[in-house]
Chain A
Amino acid sequence: MKSLRLFLQTAVLIALAACGGPGVTDDRSAVLSRAISTDPETLDIHKARSLQALSVLRDIGEGLVSHNANGEMTPGVAESWEMSDDGLSYTFTLRADARWSTGEPVTAGDFVFAVERLKDPATGAFYAQFLSDVTGLEAVDDRTLLIRLAQPTPYLLSLLTHPATFPLHAGSLAANGDRFARPGNLVSNGAYRLVDWVPGSVITLKRNEHYWNNANTAIDEVRHLVLVQESTQLARYRAGEIDITSTVPSENFAQTRKDFGSELRIAPYQNVYYYGYNLRKPPFKDNQKLRQALSMAIDRDVLVDKVLGRGETPAYSWVPTGINGYVPTVFSYAALTQAERKQIARRLYKEAGYTESNPLEVEIRYNSSDTHRAIAVAVQSMWRDALGFDATLVNEEFQVLLANIRAGEVTQVFRSSWVGDYDDAHTFLSVFQSDSAANVPGYSSNEFDKLMMRASKQVDPDLRRAYLEEAERLLLEDHPVILIYFYGSKHLVSPRVEGWGDNLLDYHYSQHLSLKAAN
């Protein structure tokens, strides 16, 4: 009896001990709480690869160029720059008052140091190829940075907004080695500095008093809360515990829309959902007619309006509308009705050698998720209806699907998507260059590569755009993938948050936001 009593007493004691941690103040009136859907893998600018890590890095760091709330480019650490006439070199003048979170000035040398680390394969940077056109980087003096290019790279400025091209504080790297990106060690140059990071829970940022534009930063503290489940994000938003969600659950979307009205922000997003063909193997290898037939048989309006209905738009081009200085080329048949498209699809299907008695046998592979399944089922029935064959649906865990796509052995039709890395058509079109690591269908066209090369060498923006548009036209005619839809970005944004701007990039720097005083 005594032992049981002792046990219970101990249990109660432990329980009390567990509860009474040091009290955290819960005054959220001056704190912005925003959700991210996974933990950043790291806040090392070069090893970071997830969109979530990049979005936190945009709060704590800054490149030569940055963005305003609407996603338009603005000067960052550089106050001005000049391009040479041949487009092969840029000279950046850094702000005299650009500062690290330690108060030390940000110098041209910090950028040179960072880019050298980025490009060194031993660093293991996922974006190591990002500045492959940069042949030389020179710190002329502390405030002057010269960048030399192998070919005109008109999207260089856009690249320089990306966290992979931010400067690095060499001193903290030397002092802390592999642990330089941890809270307490990380030195950064953005509007905020890293205060704490509990993996799987929350990243806490506080105002960087030394930031050059600190006077215009409104919010003192920002918490990025790691909330993996969409439904958890919604529940916490409903309970008033977070100000911004990173997405909105697909389930009951209509109800959410009704409940929140203008708090629900839906905007076009530079992210395309597509089905890739495995071009290395039959039946899709060297079979343009079959590829086009399958693509034309799909009614994208039905998918977008009936199956999804959550801010998506049908994709008739590879590059999304709204990309800086570019008008996407669309399918030649975009203007036809679906009935007309179906007729052409049937003819092409027959010409490719398939009939009702000799139907196509094909598998659609997608990663397990309700949305992907719904799309696959709809596509399957559209193909059955238009062309009379039954595709087999195969769902796989995401990592398994990725491995299969990469191996290219068992895949035939596979689900994939592409998010742009910078605001230029190049981030989309370069995917299909023969040597691109992102070219998962295995598309290879000399003509396409040549057009991309010509565009790269072109300084004149109009001529360059013409080459890119021609490249896209060629790509669409070849049908290496089935374009399905462009995603919409979806956020719930509390009415107390001001300064929010919807944009195609879906970048929302905390420094541009402010909080209305509670009434």
Chain B
Amino acid sequence: MLRYALLRLLGAIPTLLLVIVLAFLMVHAAPGGPFDDARSPHPEVLAAIEATYHLDEPVVQQLGRYLGGLLRGDLGPSFRYPDYSVSELIGIGFPASLKLGVLAMSLAILVGVSAGTFAALRQGSMTDRVVMSFSMTGISIPVFVVAPVLVLLFAVKLHWLPAGWSGSAGVAKYIVPVVTLALPQIAYIARLTRASMIEVLSRDFIRTARAQGLGTRAIIRIHALKPAMLPVLSYMGPAIAAILTGSVVVEQVFGIPGLGASFVNGALNRDYTLVLGIVIFYAALIIALNLVVDLLYGVIDPQVRQR
């Protein structure tokens, strides 16, 4: 297992390098520079600024300098925020995004798996149909519609929850963004669980278990849940990606100082180093998470382990 993990990690290095080089070239190819502003500074000042950030060098040389910095773990200074380095900005933004993502993911798994199992057991019933049509709605309505509606209802009309993040205290500010972010995932996971649970429940070993007199609850818990979770587990990779990208919108709408918001603003401001830093960070994170999911797969399904 350890050998496998190490090999996978080594294999990730060329992928990451490719991501870095491509991202670097694409960011630099975008028209407009970080210091183009409606009011431009004196040419002499602009030259001084560009020299400070080595923007006056050929792109290849800049790339070399950047890669050299990366080897030392240095993501460079932010072009937009001269007081902060990119690593610092990621350090500030990531915890907010992480909390949001972990909470949304946990909520999605808890509610999604329960609802899916519940519906599978009552396949074809009214409850099943209600749960499934709710989940269809959850998948179809985009985040940027759900978010303002929830804010209007719970913050503006009912005053139960804060309308935004910054300057609000306590736990309450998490609720609307987390629900908004989790909703499509709840829906998707519920559907996956239902389908897979129905399939598992029709298998021979379940029939055997029933014949031995086990109750439904015990069958689900001991025999059915684990195999039924496999498709959900393989969905975790895409789900994490969806939550990361979904958080870009949610962070913008609620004004949450996370990485998603930084990424969008960085791209608009042509903050080359910040955008690159976040791309590299996310790429590394996704590679690592994929590895973790693959290893988990081995834990849950012995067939995979023996491969």
Interface residues of A (CB under 8 A from B): 1, 3-4, 8, 11-12, 14-15, 18-20, 23-26, 33, 38-39, 41-44, 47, 49, 121-129, 178-179, 181-182, 198-202, 223, 225-229, 231-232, 235-236, 238-242, 397-400, 402-404, 406, 416-417, 437-438
**7 nearest A-B pairs in the assembled complex, by CB-CB distance:** A399-B32, A200-B257, A201-B257, A239-B163, A24-B169, A11-B106, A18-B99
Q: List 20 A-B contacts (CB under 8 A).
A: A1-B225, A8-B110, A11-B102, A11-B109, A11-B110, A38-B265, A41-B80, A123-B45, A124-B41, A126-B37, A128-B44, A181-B83, A198-B92, A199-B93, A199-B257, A200-B261, A227-B164, A236-B164, A397-B268, A437-B40
Contacting residues, chain A, for B41 (C-beta < 8 A): 124-129, 437
In the complex, chain B residues 259-280 whose Cβ is within 8 Å of any chain A Cβ? 261-262, 265, 268-270
Contact with A along B20-57 (1 / 0, CB 8 A): 00000000001111001111111111011100100000
| Contact of A417 with B38 at beta-carbon distance under 8 Å, contacts A18-B103, A239-B156 already known | yes
Pairwise interchain contact A23-B170, C-beta atoms closer than 8 A: yes
Pairwise interchain contact B253-A229, C-beta atoms closer than 8 A: yes
In the complex, chain B residues 38-95 whose Cβ is within 8 Å of any chain A Cβ? 38-45, 47-49, 52, 80-84, 89, 92-93
Pairwise interchain contact B83-A11, C-beta atoms closer than 8 A: no
Contacting residues, chain A, for B39 (C-beta < 8 A): 49, 126, 437-438
- Whether, in the assembled complex, B255 has its beta carbon less than 8 Å from a beta carbon of chain A, the answer is yes
Which partner residue on chain A sits nearest B299 by CB separation? A3
Contacting residues, chain B, for A406 (C-beta < 8 A): 36, 40
Pairwise interchain contact A12-B106, C-beta atoms closer than 8 A: yes
Pairwise interchain contact B44-A121, C-beta atoms closer than 8 A: yes
| Contact of A239 with B155 at beta-carbon distance under 8 Å, contacts A47-B82, A121-B48 already known | yes
Pairwise interchain contact A199-B81, C-beta atoms closer than 8 A: yes
- Whether, in the assembled complex, B213 has its beta carbon less than 8 Å from a beta carbon of chain A, the answer is no
In the complex, chain B residues 106-120 whose Cβ is within 8 Å of any chain A Cβ? 106-107, 109-110
* Assembly CA distance A313 to B106 (angstroms): 53
**Interface residue SS majority, chain B:** helix
Pairwise interchain contact A14-B84, C-beta atoms closer than 8 A: no
Q: How far is the CB of B116 from chain A (nearest CB, A)?
A: 14
Q: How far is the CB of A414 from chain B (nearest CB, A)?
A: 12
- Whether, in the assembled complex, B222 has its beta carbon less than 8 Å from a beta carbon of chain A, the answer is yes
- Whether, in the assembled complex, B15 has its beta carbon less than 8 Å from a beta carbon of chain A, the answer is no
Contacting residues, chain A, for B296 (C-beta < 8 A): 3
Contacting residues, chain B, for A402 (C-beta < 8 A): 32, 36-38
* Assembly CA distance A124 to B41 (angstroms): 8
| Contact of A4 with B166 at beta-carbon distance under 8 Å, contacts A18-B99, A49-B39, A398-B268 already known | no
Q: How far is the CB of B99 from chain A (nearest CB, A)?
A: 4
Contacting residues, chain A, for B49 (C-beta < 8 A): 124
Contacting residues, chain B, for A225 (C-beta < 8 A): 164, 166-167, 255
Pairwise interchain contact A403-B82, C-beta atoms closer than 8 A: no
| Contact of A14 with B106 at beta-carbon distance under 8 Å, contacts A33-B167, A402-B38, A406-B36 already known | yes
Contacting residues, chain A, for B47 (C-beta < 8 A): 121
* Assembly CA distance A398 to B267 (angstroms): 12
- Whether, in the assembled complex, B237 has its beta carbon less than 8 Å from a beta carbon of chain A, the answer is no
Contacting residues, chain B, for A11 (C-beta < 8 A): 102, 105-106, 109-110
Which partner residue on chain B sits nearest A28 by CB separation? B167
Contacting residues, chain B, for A235 (C-beta < 8 A): 148, 151-152, 155-156, 163-164
* Assembly CA distance A225 to B167 (angstroms): 7
| Contact of A199 with B156 at beta-carbon distance under 8 Å, contacts A225-B255, A232-B253 already known | no
Contacting residues, chain B, for A33 (C-beta < 8 A): 167
Contacting residues, chain B, for A404 (C-beta < 8 A): 31
In the complex, chain B residues 286-307 whose Cβ is within 8 Å of any chain A Cβ? 296, 299-300
16 extra A-B contacts, CB within 8 A, seeds A231-B148, A235-B164, A398-B32: A12-B106, A41-B81, A44-B83, A121-B42, A124-B52, A125-B45, A126-B45, A199-B84, A199-B89, A199-B257, A201-B165, A201-B255, A400-B32, A403-B31, A437-B41, A438-B40
Please tell me which one of the listed residues A8, A228, A239, A400 contacts residue B162 in the complex, with CB atoms under 8 A apart.
A239
Contacting residues, chain A, for B98 (C-beta < 8 A): 18
| Contact of A416 with B31 at beta-carbon distance under 8 Å, contacts A12-B106, A200-B93 already known | no
Contacting residues, chain B, for A20 (C-beta < 8 A): 171
Pairwise interchain contact A3-B300, C-beta atoms closer than 8 A: yes
- Whether, in the assembled complex, B217 has its beta carbon less than 8 Å from a beta carbon of chain A, the answer is no
Which partner residue on chain A sits nearest B107 by CB separation? A15
Quick one: which of B31, B45, B270 has the most chain A CB within 10 A? B45
Contacting residues, chain B, for A236 (C-beta < 8 A): 163-164
Pairwise interchain contact A26-B168, C-beta atoms closer than 8 A: yes
Which partner residue on chain A sits nearest B222 by CB separation? A1
Which partner residue on chain A sits nearest B104 by CB separation? A15
Pairwise interchain contact B171-A416, C-beta atoms closer than 8 A: no
Which partner residue on chain A sits nearest B296 by CB separation? A3
- Whether, in the assembled complex, B188 has its beta carbon less than 8 Å from a beta carbon of chain A, the answer is no
Which partner residue on chain A sits nearest B270 by CB separation? A399
* Assembly CA distance A240 to B156 (angstroms): 8
Which partner residue on chain B sits nearest A396 by CB separation? B31
- Whether, in the assembled complex, B207 has its beta carbon less than 8 Å from a beta carbon of chain A, the answer is no
